[in-house]
Structure 1
């Protein structure tokens, strides 16, 4: 691992109080000069200058001035230093993981797709993630001490149960042990969530910031969904809000794996979902009908949620979404049929669209999750005191039933 500069000396709490609030204002560009910041927080200019110098010393802020003001002395403008630290993020899938290194502004610096199989178990997945993230850090010449946090989107318990054909006793779920391994290896806080929650969060904030309710559907090997209400993913009492995997018969009707089996039985040359999409886009009648039928099944499954929540938009992401010319008409048709409603689901009240962020949606959502935590004002203040992102972070509850990340017992183990 490339060596990085040592962290700066920590300071007493009284010398840093309020620095995190200043960083928050600078990040949002609400206030950028000493005078603006002092007015915003009700502190003296000398105190603000001292706190800004401390943020600069720790690599979190840069001063790009002085610039000439309309009158009086030139004013230096503060801005976030995106490269002051990095966060490591990933979307762990059933057949591989998309991993990335992201700066403090949320921009992806490097990313890679790492092969893997959920059926190999969570231990193997963690090892693959660690190796992949370390490789990306080496590529960028960044060190472990520069990692401010880690965020991963994980398959839901229902997805793991339906997909993984693992030997009895194989641990498919990510639990406290795996979270602790990552935390100790990178010396940074670790945040885990359902991957579809992070997909939905990224789409809502980047593409639909004014949507009060957004539903995101993931259509790949299996089917899952999430709901974001006013910028917050709904998790429910047991962490399973939005699950479509549990809808009876849906995976068999709309899951990519089921489509592959069905079309292969008909003699079509398909080995995975990508083959199904390719055939549909090239005009294969059986493949086109299968994708449209999958969309209709998902639309019918979504209908109760649409009727209850009245979302502004239903966003579709995943392999099958690449055949949107067949998938989306089927989904709209299924919604109308189930709702017994003649109104178009393309009306402003409920748009049905494919995701705009593409393959990086999951890692962008994970980055948003981590950055919200590590750049929170109180966390920044504690980081300036301790010199450690891990020590500064509040305790993050490990994934479990409350987070919806603990896989149910496999049938053989019940």
Structure 2
């Protein structure tokens, strides 16, 4: 007989429905150990929040038919914000992370938090208006930024390419604006999660190496994003590269980001006689198989490979995903593979796959949506606002 002690909270009930639903009240009682009155109360609370919906009746073994209940992915929405050095890509998703509306736009992160977030808020308002949904239906907001984030507080910490953002309360501002939970993380973490969930769900160890204006690495370990003690895990862009003393925006010299970031590749291309002034132009030359551009891309891949080889030895991932401006460049990927297989232990590379990102520019918004959903629907979050269990009759 189920003991109605109220120990299984809203989160546990919702998790049970998501994993095993649709379920009847009796099914829920059997799986959670809750009595009928508490099951009914939990269901009422989840229905009120738009997280569960009744599906009608199911044949029973006797007596009246039993109503069934299922997770409702359309009962609320999530706002996803992917901030890069020069872009702000936004999306509205349902509670399974399916994109309902998307919006890509350009803005420099160096404009500072007040300018950038005001821009983001205006565009999110426009997306909500287009979607026909109300701000009251926003369950959570996910944001990623191109710099280190103290995950517990949602505040950037000394981000090298984000002047004015250090310690800024992104989560607090957007929570007040949209009346929803807000989760903020580093962009590479969000992208790693998106690739893992979307294309490598059976892979519990994955690295996502992003090369663009900045260089970073998202780490999935044990099936979860690994952020380290303070949220600084994966900051490979500021690992020193042997033989280079190029000044870096972080104040050191010879950092990987200063050597293979997009600005560095453009400078190298100009020094070798190529007529390029921006990263897109360099990328186009690589795609057109310009021999000089391809050689520069391969060299960048080798330098990234030197750093990744150490991570491969330390973490033994099954997959390394390459993202960012050069993700689809075969010379770049070949350079990474060459050095990783040369420098990492044979056992660590025996079954290792090094592949380009499949999500491309959508990895950020997809990942922030998934993070926000996981956070908002976690038992810990849902149980914070849980009503007390009804007293036993």
TM-score range, shorter chain: 0.7 to 0.9
Query: Across the two proteins, how many residue pairs are aligned to each other?
Result: 363
Residue 338 of structure 2, aligned match among 327, 333, 340: 333
Distance 1:179 1:44 in 2: 38
* Structure 1 unaligned residues grouped into runs of 5+: 1-13, 165-169, 387-414
Quote the residue 2:248 is aligned against.
none
Compared CA separation, residues 342 and 374, structure 1 to 2 (3 A) = closer
Quote the residue 1:220 is aligned against.
212
Give the CA deviation at 1:150: 1.4
Quote the residue 1:185 is aligned against.
177
Compared CA separation, residues 281 and 327, structure 1 to 2 (3 A) = same
Q: Secondary structure at the match of 2:67?
A: coil
Distance 1:112 1:222 in 2: 22
Quote the residue 1:206 is aligned against.
198
Q: Check the 8 A contact 2:78/2:141 in 1, yes or no.
A: yes
1:369 pairs with 2:371: yes
Aligned ranges 1:39-188 → 2 under 5 Å: 39-45=30-36, 47-68=38-59, 73-157=64-148, 163=161, 171-173=164-166, 175-176=168-169, 178-188=170-180
Distance 1:385 1:16 in 2: 12
Distance 2:137 2:146 in 1: 28
Distance 1:149 1:344 in 2: 38
Q: Which has the higher contact order (CA 8 A, sep 6+)?
A: 1
Deviation digits for residues 218-250 of structure 1 (CA, Å, limit 9, x no counterpart): 011221112221122222234322211112232
RMSD of aligned Cα (Å):
2.9
Q: Check the 8 A contact 1:118/1:172 in 2, yes or no.
A: no
Give the CA deviation at 1:252: 3.6
1:298 pairs with 2:304: yes
Q: Secondary structure at the match of 1:287?
A: helix
TM-score of the two chains, using structure 1 as the length reference: 0.79
- Structure with greater helix percent: 1
Query: Which one is further off, 276-285 or 372-381?
Result: 372-381
Quote the residue 1:394 is aligned against.
none
Quote the residue 1:7 is aligned against.
none
Distance 1:24 1:54 in 2: 14
1:256 pairs with 2:265: no
Quote the residue 1:403 is aligned against.
none
Give the CA deviation at 1:331: 0.4
Distance 2:262 2:61 in 1: 62
Give the CA deviation at 1:174: 5.2
Distance 2:96 2:67 in 1: 21
Q: Check the 8 A contact 2:8/2:32 in 1, yes or no.
A: no
Query: Which one is further off, 264-273 or 133-142?
Result: 264-273
Q: Check the 8 A contact 1:295/1:327 in 2, yes or no.
A: yes
Q: Check the 8 A contact 1:214/1:312 in 2, yes or no.
A: yes
1:270 pairs with 2:276: yes
Q: Check the 8 A contact 1:58/1:384 in 2, yes or no.
A: no
1:197 pairs with 2:199: no
* Structure 2 unaligned residues grouped into runs of 5+: 149-155, 241-253, 389-393
Distance 1:31 1:66 in 2: 11
Give the CA deviation at 1:321: 0.3
Compared CA separation, residues 338 and 58, structure 1 to 2 (3 A) = closer
1:22 pairs with 2:13: yes
